[in-house]
Structure 1
Amino acid sequence: MRLQNKVAIITAGASGMGKAGAKLFSKEGAIVNILDINEESGQAVVEEIEASGGKAHFYRTDMTSVEDIKATVDKITDKYRKIDILWNHAGTPGPGGVDQVEEDGFDFALDLNVKSGFFLTKYVLPFMKDNGGSIIFTSSISGLVGSYFSPVYSTAKGGVSNMVRALAMSLGEHKIRVNSVCPGFTETPMLKEFLARDEDDDMEANANKVLSRVPLGRFAYAEDVANAALFLASDESVYITGVNLPVDGGYTA
């Protein structure tokens, strides 16, 4: 098993890519700690993992609250005294065009996409420095190129992509690797929020516009992103850090 006895934290692990990652990491031997605000769905993922013989725990956590984040890390580290893998996956599409953005929507997008991962990383670090580890962020193709649909999302994910590079430089001396996965448009419950942010948006037309630029001809599946995250979490990527890895079917090419 590629993650045997590793202690992992995955945020937004109750659905979509995070759920796929939680199940895959557990299958590969990790003890998975799922952080999400959706308690019912999060507990359901834990039950599914345990039914398959894996180990998982759920912690209801508001990822926009630094206080809540710290409290959850305290609970996990009190139990295990170490963290081997952190996947900062929590995020939101945010509002659409500039003319539609209000301050509260802008702040929420930055808090969930950028601030949450920054502070979760801060509080996990003391429990990773002794043994090294892997920190993964979920950025986006919109963190590599501009988003046609949302400049706020590109602002947030661009910040994540550069935070990955900066943390990789500063944490390498502790044998901590920092990378991100950069999904393209992915078939998860959040996809429709990317393709139709406004009532007037034609989701089918937007989907066709996106797919016309994807060489592999389909949207990503949650499992595609989870597999990339597994590679970055495992020792197979032991000499890779500071990388923002597109999982986009060739879109950014």
Structure 2
Amino acid sequence: MGRLNHKIAVITGASTGIGAASAKVLADEGAHVLAVDVSDKVHDTVKEINAAGNKASAYIVDVSDAHAVERFAEEVKGKYKQVNVLFNNAGVDNAAGRIHEYPVDVFDKIIGVDLRGTFLMTKFMLPLMMDMGGSIINTASFSGLAADLNRSGYNAAKGGLINFTRSTAIEYGRENIRANAISPGTIETPLVDKLTGTADDVSGKAFRDNQKWVTPLGRLGTPEEVGKLVAFLASDDSSFITGESITIDGGVMAYTWPGEMLSEESWKRTTK
């Protein structure tokens, strides 16, 4: 506790899931969290943080809109003078068909929020970090390390985001600004509910059962577990780590193919 005392931490996509959980973890560590989202639900995150005796403020910003992000940066500069932590977490996803069938507007939306949004937030927040240094964390995905069927837009955005993180790390290391990506696997979030159905739906339950047996740890991850990784990367405990993509996926990316897991029923039974 207290690793981020007196720090200003900007978190995008902070209304639910990984963003909301990370906002709470960073606030518990002493940061004043500036919670950013396009959804009014971000106010609920902020209310919960403040009710716990910590500090948070809510901002409604479309991270894919350059003018909106620039106005936000100006407001932050006027009020707080600097930013110490930037967690670029805002993202959207959609399984929209094979590439020759993939709607252009869906591709543009995903690239616009996930990749362009990260670029814009980084571009306009960096000047507020350059005097004092800081830490930038970007939410990539294990889908940026390998491909998924029918999700070429998301795969492209997250893969690009990982290399954009490396660009940030090498360009700003001499200003003591570190940049790292996190690559979560399947985390129990509202986005998973939207894409697959909830844990109470037939389709959602089937998806979760499949994820459990294909994941060596035998379960989905939690947003709070990701939030703890974000707090580590935001703090001085990770002071010599930059330019990395850290996978948090329960072991999925540790093997090349499922092998006997596909046919060995005893393996599946271990997740019951």
TM class, shorter-chain normalised? Answer: over 0.9
Query: Which aligned pairs between 1:80-95 and structure 2 lie closer than 5 A?
Result: 80-95=80-95
Residue 202 of structure 1 deviates from its aligned partner by 4.2
Are the aligned partners of 1:73 and 1:124 in contact in 2 as well (CA < 8 Å)? yes
Q: Deviations over 1:78-135 (max 9, x none)?
A: 1111000000000011343225521111100000000001011111111101111000
Q: Structure 1 residues 33 and 70 mapped into 2: Cα distance closer, same or farther (>3 Å)?
A: same
The aligned runs of 1:101-120 (5 Å cut-off) are 101-120=102-121
- State the alpha-carbon separation in 1 of the partners of residues 225 and 195 from structure 2: 18
**Matches of 1:103 and 1:119 in 2, distance apart?**
21
Map of 1:69 onto structure 2: 69
Deviation at 1:165, TM superposition (A): 1.2
In structure 1, what is the equivalent of residue 97 of structure 2? 97
* 1:24, distance to aligned residue in structure 2 (A): 0.8
Cα contact 1:149–1:194 (8 A) shared by 2: no
Structure 1 contact 95–105 (Cα < 8 Å) conserved: no
Which structure 1 segments of 5+ residues have no match? none
Deviation at 1:27, TM superposition (A): 0.8
**1:169 is matched by which residue type in structure 2?**
I
Distance in 2 (alpha carbons) for counterparts of 1:204 and 1:21: 26
Structure 2 Cα separation of the partners of residues 166 and 238 of structure 1:
18
CA distance in 2, matches of 1:130, 1:204: 49
Q: Deviations over 1:6-63 (max 9, x none)?
A: 0010001011110001111111100100110112x11111111111111111111112
Are the aligned partners of 1:11 and 1:90 in contact in 2 as well (CA < 8 Å)? yes
| Gap change, CA 1:204 and 1:97, over 3 Å in 2 | farther
**Pairing 1:58–2:58 present:** yes
- The TM-score with structure 2 as length reference comes to 0.87
Please state whether the residue corresponding to 1:134 is helix, strand or coil: strand
Equivalent residues of 1:93, 1:193 under 8 A apart:
no
Q: How does 1:55-204 map to 2 (within 5 A)?
A: 55-98=55-98, 100-195=101-196, 202-204=203-205
Structure 1 equivalent of residue 35 of structure 2: 34
Name the CA distance, whole Å, in 2 between partners of 1:9 and 1:84: 8
Q: Retained in 1: the 8 A contact 2:208–2:220?
A: no
- Confirm or deny: 8 A CA contact 1:95 1:106 kept in the other structure: no
Q: Which shows bigger deviation, 127-136 or 186-195? A: 186-195
1:178-201 deviation digits (Å, cap 9, x = unpaired): 0011111110111034436xxxx9
Instruction: Give the secondary structure class of the aligned counterpart of 1:186.
Output: coil
Determine the C-alpha separation between the residues in 1 that align with 2:80 and 2:4: 16
When Rg is computed on C-alpha atoms for both structures, the one with the higher figure is 2
Partner of 1:34, secondary structure, is strand
Distance 1:149 1:174 in 2: 40
1:203 CA displacement: 3.9
Deviation at 1:241, TM superposition (A): 0.3
User: What is the SS of the residue equivalent to 1:83?
Assistant: coil
